[in-house]
Each structure stands twice: as structure tokens, then as C-alpha cells.
Amino acid sequence: MAYISSPDSPTPFEVEEDLLHYYVVDGVRLPPFCRGKLDDIANFTVREDDVWILSYPRAGGWIQDMVHLIHSEGGDILKADLSLEAVEDAIPFLEGPSPGLETLKNLPSPRCFKSHLPFRLLPRGVQDKQCKVIYVARNPKDVMCSFYDFHRTVQIIHYKGTFQQFYYRFMNSKLGYGCYFSHVKSWWNQRTHPSVFFLKYEDMHKEFKKTVIKMGEFLGQPLTSDKVLDVCAYWDEEAKYNRKEDRVGYWKYHFTIHINEKFEKLYPDKLKDSDLTFDFDL
């Protein structure tokens, strides 16, 4: 769908001072459910056989389904339960309101966690790569639009601002979990470490079979050719992995020509100190 022109620019600030009542820690805005947890998170004991799935919000959530399928079920699609409830139980949200850090630290090995926290607020053992880390990075235009949809549709947030205002917030690090660009670059700089699998969301779409194979190898669960084909077929057929908002290029449904021009002017400066690149279309 072609994006349309608009003469308006995002206003500097929205009427509501802060969506979700964010609070600021070390320059990073965080959701209220993180309050009082960061010291315990920093000291959270990491195990060598842990798997940590990290990303900025809305960077490709269904990667956790693939990790659960391979990590817990050896890629056996007939055996695996990939319902939302089963996957969330298997891969709990570190900083989330439940089940709580005490419960998480006592889970039996091998454990698997997910988090949106920026690098410097993660457990020290994760920062030191004392476990396996899968970092998922999605192009900033699509992340912005998916995060906007999330803010509009989640009842407890009920965001009423315009997309132009949301664009301003995103580009100026005024959303939960801080600056998207710093978040992504911090793990891009760690990508050559053997315990880190840096995965671009767009590459999954371009080379899904190759991604499945590499994921199995990284998790120490190499898949047979038959299992790889079964996983690929399941992902192709399953509707929840083929939604409009999951496409590469979803940004065209929200960006106006004016906003796109503003983004293209700012984007090079946001990544000026990095060789990280993204595909915005496939």
C-alpha cells in the first residue's frame, strides 16, 4: 500500500505527560512493573545453559515460538505445544509482573527467559555472556509501527495520540525501554561473541530455512532435514505467523511521505557510529 502525504509535523510533546507512567532509570524510561526490581535483576544468577531472548519491544515476538520448539522439543512440531500460554510459561518475561524473580531464579535447568531491558540494565551474567543470548533486531520503521499498534490496542494503555506524535516519541527515546538505536547497537557490537546469535528479523523472512538450521545449531539441537522441512511448512501455513503487521514493510501503512522524509534525514545520524544496516522492504 502506498503511503500518503501529510503537511503536518509531530508536535514536540503530547498532552499526556507520560504514557504508562514511565519512570526514568539511568536515562532510560521503564514501565511501572520494573520499579524496585533493577538491583535484583542486576544480581540475578545466570547459568551457563540459560538461553536469553532479547529485543527492543515489538521486534519479532514469534521468535520465542521457534526457540521453544527447538530448545524444549528438539524441533518436533507434532510434539510441541505452541499455544501462547505454553510458550509464555516456557519462556517467562524477566522484568514482567509475574511470576516474579524469586520464582524465575529457582526454575530447573535448562532455563529460557525473554527481556526488553537495554544492555546495561540486564543481569551482569548476561552482559558478560555467561549464557546463550539470542538478540532479535527489526528495522526501526516496522518496530515503530508495531509499537504504535500495541499502544493503541492494549486496554491498560489506550493510547490516543496520533502516529506523528508517536513518531516523535520513538525518535527521541520517550517510550518504554529507552532509545531503540542504542538498544540495537549495544548487541550488534557483541555479535561476534560465540555465545551471541544476533538475528535480523528481515533475514528470517528472506532465509527462513537457513535461520531454522542456524538456530538449532546455536542451541545445541541440530535438526534433521525432515524436522527443518516440517518447521518451515508449519510456519508457512500457520496464520499467526503470517499477519499483515508481521510483514517486512508494514511501516507503509502508517508512514506519510512527510514522516518518511523526516525519518530518512535523521536515520543516518542515528547509526553514524555503526555498520549496522536494515532492510525496509523485501
Q: Which residues are catalytic?
A: 116
- 136: how many CB neighbours lie within 10 A of its CB? 24
C-alpha span between 40 and 151 (Å, rounded): 28
Q: Which amino acid is at 169?
A: R
Cβ-based neighbour number of residue 250 at 10 Å? 22
Buried b (16+ CB within 10 A) or exposed e, 1-21: eeeeeeeeebeeebeeeebbe
Residue with cell 514482567: 96
Q: What is the per-residue DSSP string for 168-188?
A: HHHHTT-STTS-HHHHHHHHH
Please say whether the dihedral angle defined by the alpha carbons of residues 102, 107, 109 and 111, taken in this order, is positive or negative: negative
Dihedral angle, C-alpha 180, 124, 89, 146, nearest 10 °:
0
